[in-house]
Amino acid sequence: MPRMLAEVPTDAPERDSVFTWQAEGSTQPELQDDGTDALQPYLRLAVHGSIWLTCQRCLAPYSQHLDVDATYRIVATEEEADEFPLDDDEIDVIVGSRQFDLVDLIEEELLLSLPLVPKHSVCPEVHESLLSNSAGDAEEVADEAGEDEKPNPFAVLEKLKGSDPDGKKH
C-alpha cells in the first residue's frame, strides 16, 4: 500500500505495518422499480492494525491504531451509483466488478481513518537540555582528536622534497 507507506516517517522503528482485514459479502432483497424483489449485494469490510506516524506535537514517531468498519452497497454501473441517495452516512456505494481491487479499497479506507492531526495521547518527556549537552561534548571531542591527528602539510612537503632527489639518483 504505497499511499499508506508514504505516511510512515522514515525514522519509524518499523516501516512494515501489518493489518488484519475481513470482508464479507451479503445480499438483501430490495424492491425494484418494476415492483419485483431483487437481491442487492452488500460488502462489509473491517480492517484493524497500527501504523507509525509523526506526532505533530513533539515530532517523534508513534504507533497509531486504526480501525475501519464499513458497509458498501455494490452496484453495477456509475449511473446506478449516482441514483442512490448520498444522505446515508452508514453505507457507501461502490461500483463492483469481478476484478474488484479489495486492497485498493482497504488502503482508501485506512487513509480516510488517519487522524487529521496525528499526535501522542500523551507525549513522552524529552530532556532537551540533556540532548544538547551530550551533542556539544561529542563535537568538542571530535575537534580535539582532529587537531592531534592532522598531519602538518608543510612537514609532508619537506619529506617529499627530501626524498625526491634521492629517488632520482643512480
Chain residues that interact with Zn ion, rule: CB under 5 A:
55, 57-58, 120, 123
Instruction: Give the span between the Cα atoms of 82 and 64, in whole angstroms.
Output: 35
Nearer to Zn ion, 49 or 61 (CB): 61
Nearer to Zn ion, 124 or 162 (CB): 124
Q: How many CA atoms lie within 13 A of 130 on its CB side?
A: 3
Q: How far is the CB of 57 from Zn ion (least distance, A)?
A: 4
Q: How far is the CB of 65 from Zn ion (least distance, A)?
A: 15
Q: How far is the CB of 123 from Zn ion (least distance, A)?
A: 3
Nearer to Zn ion, 1 or 120 (CB): 120
Q: How far is the CB of 137 from Zn ion (least distance, A)?
A: 26
Nearer to Zn ion, 3 or 57 (CB): 57
